[in-house]
Amino acid sequence: MEYKSAGVDIDAGNETVRRIRSLARSTFTPGVLSDIGSFGGLFRLDRERYQEPVLVSSADGVGTKLKVAFMTGRHDTVGADLVNHCVNDILVQGAEPLFFLDYLATGRLSPAVAEQVVSGVARACAENGCALIGGETAEMPGFYADGEYDIAGFIVGAVERSRVIDGRTIVPGDVLIGLPSAGLHTNGYSLARRVLFDEAGCKADTHIEELGATVGEALLAPHRSYLRFVRPLLERQAVRGLAHITGGGITENLPRVLPEECAAEVDLHSWDVPPLFRLLQQRGEIDRDEMFRTFNMGIGLVIVCAAREAERVINMLARAGEPKAVRIGFIVAGSRQVIYV
């Protein structure tokens, strides 16, 4: 017998590495000291840039958004979703990304599909100034169904210790500023698929007039990276706290950055909830509290800043290319919770 007869094609694995090597190399920054194919990725930290560097790391996946990619046959966006999600997760502590690694596991390896996935990873890494220095592609027959795969990402960034954002300076009276999401990003897809596909009977190519797109297009809208918009704020130390609105929505994520004696008061009338969320709520008969602890509801990142800085922060965001930032509430006395008004 041969390994291939058991479902693992070493030649397909080698072809996959050949295809993605140039994609990864295109993201290399001066700190990269190794090539794709090494047992470990080597990266040199620029000590001239940091006096007391703190490394910040995170790992995440894309969840069942992958099911929509399988349905549509489009695989070039989920890799970007993965990178941008991870970039935002370390951004909220003030860190800039240094390098990224990815993991792709599948039942039967398709070099063409793997190339599409990694092209999205490489594109987002380049856009965020983050080097893709390695990864793993695993062929696991009998574990994943044919045509399906899972991906995970691992990111490492750095921040000067004196500039770590941990929410300690947040006080009542501070302002909450919301940055718009591009859709569901990478959370809530199990419920969204249940509502749209199982209950409403939609297909991926069903065009929804109020969305101005097919269901597949709306659900595959890429997860935004907020790095380029927030970077100027970090440089001027205009931020007291940042919350990436992922699984758990505003309800669960905003309290993660609040001191014990603070709560967040969020004005539900301060922004227009995008049509996709309204459609999900209506078709699924989902109550408001469940919506706000499952989906981002159109807000992908929340900035906490001093009230006197709010107008300047909004103007800086507009100059950086984000003109739709909006005040969504205030910090009040309380115990690490979100109060909707």
Q: One digit per residue, pLDDT tens: the chain, 341 residues?
A: 777 777 777 788 788 888 889 999 999 999 999 998 889 999 999 999 999 999 999 999 999 999 999 999 999 999 999 999 999 999 999 999 999 999 999 999 999 999 999 999 999 999 999 999 999 999 999 899 888 999 999 999 999 999 999 999 999 999 999 999 999 999 999 999 999 999 999 999 999 999 999 999 999 999 999 999 999 999 999 999 999 999 999 999 999 999 999 999 999 999 999 999 999 999 999 999 999 999 999 999 999 999 999 999 999 999 999 999 999 999 999 999 999 99
- Residues 80, 148: one domain? yes
Domain holding 51, by residue range, is 3-163
Cα angle 124-127-128, degrees, rounded to a multiple of 5: 90
The H-or-E segment that residue 19 falls in is helix 10-25
Cα angle 204-206-209, degrees, rounded to a multiple of 5: 130
- Edge to edge, what strands does the sheet with 262-266 contain? 241-244, 299-305, 175-180, 326-333, 262-266, 338-340
Evaluate whether residue 21 is within a structural domain: yes
Residue 193's CATH number: 3.90.650.10
Residue where a domain stops, chosen among 106, 131, 163? 163
Total domains in the chain come to: 2
- Residues 144, 251: one domain? no
- Residues 190, 304: one domain? yes
The H-or-E segment that residue 276 falls in is helix 275-284
Residue 107's CATH number: 3.30.1330.10
Residue where a domain stops, chosen among 132, 163, 194? 163
Evaluate whether residue 98 is within a structural domain: yes
- Token look-up 């070099």 returns 111
Provide the pLDDT for residue 325. Answer: 98
Evaluate whether residue 127 is within a structural domain: yes
Residue where a domain stops, chosen among 116, 136, 163? 163
- Residues 180, 159: one domain? no
- Residues 219, 103: one domain? no
Evaluate whether residue 169 is within a structural domain: no
CB-based contacts of 3: which residues, under 8 Å, 6+ apart?
A: 9, 10
Please give the biggest Cα pair distance in the chain: 72
CB atoms within 10 A of CB 266: 23
- Residues 158, 207: one domain? no
- Residues 125, 193: one domain? no
Contact 102, 151 (CB under 8 A): yes
- Residues 150, 222: one domain? no
Evaluate whether residue 170 is within a structural domain: no
- Residues 213, 298: one domain? yes
CB atoms within 10 A of CB 294: 22
- Residues 302, 231: one domain? yes
- Please give the distance of CA 20 from its chain centroid, rounded to a whole number: 22
d(CA 221, CA 207): 15
- Helices 227-235, 78-91: axis angle to 10 degrees equals 20
Q: Among candidates 62, 155, 160, 133, which has minimal Cα distance to 104?
A: 62
CB-based contacts of 147: which residues, under 8 Å, 6+ apart?
A: 70, 107, 108
